[in-house]
A and B are shown apart, each in its own frame.
Chain A
């Protein structure tokens, strides 16, 4: 058998998987987005009606878009900032650093159901420890998950708890910065801030870029946390928090697909999300030349 045939045989599972579980469904989803389809009856072609309805005649769609944008614009920069800051702290040569690192990383491993369960309870307005402690120091005690204005900030806070994996990737990036660059900077009379600005930041900009792209893709698709917080299995499937304040895009998409059986409409929503994510990713790649430094260049 030639190496050509053997090679393709080895990668065959992935090629089959690509067509059956990725490419095929993506095309099917595009086709379905132009139909009215409830899974039981055959799809019926309706042109761009799903897309038109979305942008002109669906308040919940609008709500889910604004909620997702609010959430993403807070959560993406904040989690990058916190992850980077913590990674800087954890990159020092202090005693017991292994323990600190473990503590900061561990929450990101907790299953999202457990995260939602414990945070829903931590943020309980009347009996939760967070409001209790805020009260002790005389700070206002927000309604968190039952106050429509506080739902998105609560979600951002919960997301910050799970900041471990971008943090770990930043830490790896920081450890890859060669020591001689710091030494050279110090010889030139640089202080800590100069070292950070002229060495650390440029040398880790590619890691910032990687985490930014992963952050965009992940955050726009947040689902499990809001589903578990507001829509318990077996409970009211139409609940998304007070005034639907927790109605993130994919939660509404899920409802259309599996609760209202508007599969065509859900597919159209999925394609809009797809296009937005692709556009943002391309934008990030386009601008990276201006702010990302690669050693090979």
Chain B
């Protein structure tokens, strides 16, 4: 593994080139480009927050106000009267945690089988599972919709949770299998001599040693379901079942004669905040998890 950590960089060496001034100029140029680029990347975040603090009047002012006067902090309270935020948040959380639990638990079990046991047909089965990475989701949406409507599961959480309890996706299985394979086999063999079963080894040896990988899969999975739009929009048509993501989209179209753009920005800010929090809390494991798979790709 060669995880990319934010500050562990190969040192650039200028000694042999001997041209110190050129290196200095290069560094300054690098800083300028990165600063300008970084500023551009941050602009949408700034615009999102600043717009969430505007009124229907100040939002459509020209020239645009970078810092709204007055800053309408009450938008963050009033939104709860306009939109059932708690209901949407509750739906989103149930789906996110339900699906994530399934992905983490079942992908770990399956990855353990692929990584630590030897059995006939294992590599072929793994190749088959891996091939689904290239399957466009569009190919399966119609038959899956038919299947779930036959089960009367439209406008329930099931279509958005249950499928994730079956292996949790090739990507996660792949990621965890790579990690599990890195743990010395001696540990398993010693445990077997001591009379431990496979489940016991999985639970008390492999899992505790794989915390970083498990956390990475958990975070990727949480973000995926929290951000998901296509699934909810297909299966949740009743507004009582809507998620936060659908709520943001629906704020575009409430036909009330009012302009809701500022509320849309408030709700968008609210959906982005947990994502950024999670990222900063777990930056290290998070970036490791992504780059590990990228490198072995």
Q: Which residues of A contact B (CB under 8 A)?
A: 3-11, 13-18, 20-22, 24-26, 28-29, 32, 39, 86, 89-94, 97-107, 109-115, 117-119, 121-122, 126-129, 132, 161, 165, 168-169, 171-173, 175-176, 179, 182-183, 186-187, 206-207, 210, 217, 220-221, 223-224, 227-228, 232-235, 250, 253-254, 257-258, 263, 266-267, 269-271, 273-274, 277-278, 281
User: How many angstroms from the CA of A125 to the CA of B210 in the assembled complex?
Assistant: 51
Establish whether residues A132 and B291, one from each chain, have CB atoms under 8 Å apart when the complex forms: no
Establish whether residues A233 and B147, one from each chain, have CB atoms under 8 Å apart when the complex forms: no
Query: In the complex where A94-B31, A104-B41, A113-B245 touch, is A224 in contact with B230 (Cβ < 8 A)?
Result: yes
Which of B4, B31, B109 neighbours the largest number of chain A CB atoms within 10 Å of its CB? B4
14 contacts between A and B (CB under 8 A): A17-B167, A104-B37, A109-B227, A113-B229, A118-B51, A118-B268, A121-B261, A127-B61, A169-B297, A173-B294, A175-B10, A227-B229, A263-B146, A278-B134
Establish whether residues A186 and B149, one from each chain, have CB atoms under 8 Å apart when the complex forms: no
Query: In the complex where A10-B109, A13-B106 touch, is A93 in contact with B145 (Cβ < 8 A)?
Result: no
Q: Nearest residue in A to B252 (C-beta to C-beta)?
A: A232
Contacts of A112 in B (CB 8 A): 227, 229, 245
Establish whether residues A117 and B248, one from each chain, have CB atoms under 8 Å apart when the complex forms: yes
User: How many angstroms from the CA of A171 to the CA of B109 in the assembled complex?
Assistant: 31
- Residue among B44, B135, B271 making CB contact with A113, cutoff 8 Å: B271
Q: Does B179 contact A (CB under 8 A)?
A: no
Contacts of B144 in A (CB 8 A): 21, 25
Establish whether residues A232 and B145, one from each chain, have CB atoms under 8 Å apart when the complex forms: no
Residues of chain B at interface, number, CB under 8 A: 104
Establish whether residues A234 and B250, one from each chain, have CB atoms under 8 Å apart when the complex forms: yes
- Residue among B41, B134, B167, B297 making CB contact with A281, cutoff 8 Å: B134
Q: Does B63 contact A (CB under 8 A)?
A: yes
Establish whether residues B37 and A270, one from each chain, have CB atoms under 8 Å apart when the complex forms: no
Establish whether residues B9 and A93, one from each chain, have CB atoms under 8 Å apart when the complex forms: yes
Contacts of A270 in B (CB 8 A): 136, 138-139, 141-142
Q: Nearest residue in B to A130 (C-beta to C-beta)?
A: B43
Q: Which residues of B contact A (CB under 8 A)?
A: 2-4, 6-7, 9-13, 16-17, 27, 30-31, 33-34, 37-38, 41-45, 47-48, 51, 59-64, 66, 106, 109-110, 112-114, 117-122, 125, 128-129, 132, 134-147, 149, 163, 165-167, 173, 198, 223, 226-227, 229-230, 233-234, 242, 245-246, 248-254, 261, 264-265, 268, 271-272, 275-276, 279, 283, 287, 290-291, 294-295, 297
Query: In the complex where A113-B229, A210-B294, A234-B253 touch, is A8 in contact with B119 (Cβ < 8 A)?
Result: yes
Query: In the complex where A91-B9, A109-B223 touch, is A25 in contact with B147 (Cβ < 8 A)?
Result: yes
Query: In the complex where A114-B248, A118-B44, A186-B17 touch, is A233 in contact with B272 (Cβ < 8 A)?
Result: no
Contacts of A14 in B (CB 8 A): 106, 110, 129, 166-167, 173
Min C-beta distance of A217 to chain B, whole Å: 6
